[in-house]
Structure 1
Amino acid sequence: MDDITLRAVDGVHVTTLIDNSSDVLLPDEGLVRRWGLSGSAGPLPIVPSGMAEGGRTIDFLRAEHGFSALVEVQDGGGVRRVLFDAGVSPDGLITNLDRLALPPDIIETIVFSHGHFDHVMGLEGLARRLGPRNLPILIHPDFWTRRRLVLPGGALELPTPSRAAIEGAGFAVVAERRPSFLLDGMLLVTGEVERTTAFETGMPPAHQAFKDGVWQPDPLVHDDQAILLHVRGKGLVVLTGCGHAGIVNIIRHAKRLTGIDRLHAVMGGFHLRSGPIIEHTVAALTEESPSVVVPAHCTSWLAQHALAAALPGGFRPNAVGSRFEL
């Protein structure tokens, strides 16, 4: 895509629908509104209980090993909404939407960061609730790739998204390898991310893909993509699902695509576990000086701690129900 101009918007709200942690005691913090006992993002739902006096108890959001976020783009008094990823369990996403009092029919487009099942399978519950309605789903062409992990106890084949099932449920699949605009040019999907750093080498050899009739190493997860927004007067917002392409690669790719050098916020899965990559990534992110840093999902405690120490002014912990008002 040539001559990319990403339209600036008045604001972006990102609400975490699925993540690895749920913390009802986190308080509001500046631009972050929390859902829970200490936050103001929304009331706690009351549900029936046979074990409580009066027959009622308080319900809480569910955390699971996966990621999903609702992106609300505000411009000119209007609001446009995109769902980014769907989490791992069939009912986790839809039940958390219910707990947050967010009706699923407000979603106008779905973007998947990649085809790993912990970002996709919550689509099932959403499909049951919505019914067939030709809702667009934007993916990379390699989204359907069969993958497995070769572990000491044997190979574990990962659940693979079914194109027949997804289209049969009434979704309109759009596969694109290159960058794609959504919402009349206000949101940009990166497409395949160029790998340029020496330290972001991808998945270990245990991660394999079935290609050309054989299982072979799949370190790069080529279908990994992010979404980009430009908040007027503040800079780029980068939202990732897992960040398999490398969070630094993604940020640099985003800046090359858009020509916007100022990074306002970087959020989502950074896929940082352990080893020297943490030090290199933290150093590179510190040079970018983002105002907001929200590592989620597949970012280890070690990496979270290092990011919090290096970027104390921008670091914000994530939890299900957190709403970041950028």
Structure 2
Amino acid sequence: MCEGASGTELDAALVAPRPALGDAIDPIGLEPVDEVIVTTLVDNVYDALLQGDERTTRVSFGVGLAKAPQFEGGETAVGLRAEHGFSALVTVRRDVTTTSLLFDAGLSPDAMMVNADRLGIDLLGVQGVVLSHGHFDHVGGLAGLATRRGGRSLPMVVHPMAWTRRRLAVPGADPLEMPTLSRRALEAEGFAVVERRQPSLLVDDCVLITGEVDRTTEFERGMPAAHEAWTGSGWRHDPDVVDDQALVVHVRGRGLVVLTGCGHAGAVNIVRHAQRLTGVSAVAALIGGLHLNGPAFEPVIGPTVEALTAIAPSLVVPGHCTGWRAQHALAAALPNAWTASSSGSSYRVDAA
């Protein structure tokens, strides 16, 4: 989830950045690919009037029909669903081999599947699932995917802390406990769960899952005091959301494509971590939630935009929990890179 109250100086001290300067001790040999396409299956926004370009494909109202007796002919055109959640399909091509992975699954049990069906995407063809973290607005659609698959096995990469019980305890309101992901239930539905804290290479070493992200900036301090985790004996502040991880692909001659779910580790921390792990400095694209929405995170917008401007990604598609203030700031600072996110949009990066 992506909201909460402001924390204290003590809370900030608890998440002071760890030094992680220089090259990675154990660099990752991420093989370059010829093309990557990221299709946003679920996002907070659906805009049927957005226009595409040479790197972005959009969809309008012509993605399906629904019965509606109020219209002549008894049908009406429908668009795609938008909700406070995120899901993306990542399709990677290397030579003649193409592989697809599902990155997160949105909030509700059916939105991801409804959107995929309307887009003509058969999610039965995905080779695996990657979860950015365990928050329920990124995993709810797994129920719909499991029903469609009928129990057939599918690999799933998660951080071992994705099963953590969490709640929002905003002062003056009753605590709201979030739905907690169940490993037992997922395995019963056919998901072959692989837990990893460290970086993982998938798809013949062409896709990197970062594992835990080094927190090195001075301004990305994590979640405010209202975000709590169950320790087994009580609730305590959970600033880190340590299970937060990103997906990274290296497009030959272009640089890294970095896909985030919420970016709880901090957008700049995540990009720099990917650069350190791979030894690749150029960033071709940054796509996904950047977690800059709400009073606890708006003070971070300025230094985040400044750092991302210095990194100079060729394409920036902030979605989900980024927030309108950060969207405006990023669009102003990176006018040639910034692109609006919307459910159903596809973003393509080709090799140079």
- TM range, smaller chain: over 0.9
TM-score normalised to the size of structure 2? 0.90
**Match 1:123 to one of 142, 165, 176:** 142
Paired letter, 1:87? G
**Match 1:279 to one of 302, 317, 321:** 302
Displacement of 1:120: 0.4
Equivalence for 1:225: 245
5+ residue gaps, structure 1? 38-42
Equivalence for 1:4: 28
Q: Residue 110 of structure 1: SS of its match in structure 2?
A: strand
Paired letter, 2:306? A
Equivalence for 1:295: 318
TM-score normalised to the size of structure 1? 0.97
5+ residue gaps, structure 2? 1-24
Q: Residue 175 of structure 2: SS of its match in structure 1?
A: strand
Equivalence for 1:244: 264
Paired letter, 1:324? Y
Name the structure, 1 or 2, with higher relative contact order (CA <8 Å, separation 6+). Answer: 2
Equivalence for 2:103: 84
What is the CA deviation profile of residues 183-228 of structure 1, one whole-angstrom value per residue up to 9, with x for unaligned ones? 0100000000010001000111000000142100001100000000
Are residue 159 (structure 1) and residue 179 (structure 2) matched? yes
Equivalence for 1:148: 167
CA RMSD of aligned residues (A): 1.0
Paired letter, 1:5? G
Paired letter, 1:24? A
Q: Distance in 2 between matches of 1:275 and 1:191?
A: 26
Q: Residue 9 of structure 1: SS of its match in structure 2?
A: coil
Q: Residue 217 of structure 2: SS of its match in structure 1?
A: coil
Which runs of 4 or more aligned residues in structure 1 lie more than 4 Å from their structure 2 counterparts after TM superposition?
A: none
Q: Distance in 1 between matches of 2:92 and 2:292?
A: 28
Q: Distance in 2 between matches of 1:106 and 1:275?
A: 39
User: Any residues of structure 2 matched to 1:1-326 within 5 Å, and which?
Assistant: 2-36=26-60, 43-151=62-170, 152-273=172-293, 274-326=297-349
Displacement of 1:49: 2.0
- The answer to whether the 8 Å contact 2:41/2:343 transfers is yes
- The answer to whether the 8 Å contact 2:27/2:276 transfers is no
What is the CA deviation profile of residues 284-324 of structure 1, one whole-angstrom value per residue up to 9, with x for unaligned ones? 00000110001000011000000000000100000001000
Paired letter, 1:133? R
Displacement of 1:56: 1.5
Equivalence for 2:17: none
Q: Residue 154 of structure 1: SS of its match in structure 2?
A: coil
Paired letter, 2:241? V
Displacement of 1:2: 2.8
Displacement of 1:48: 2.3
Q: Distance in 1 between matches of 2:67 and 2:340?
A: 31
Q: Residue 73 of structure 2: SS of its match in structure 1?
A: helix
Q: Residue 276 of structure 1: SS of its match in structure 2?
A: helix
Q: Which moved more, 1:223-232 or 1:162-171?
A: 162-171
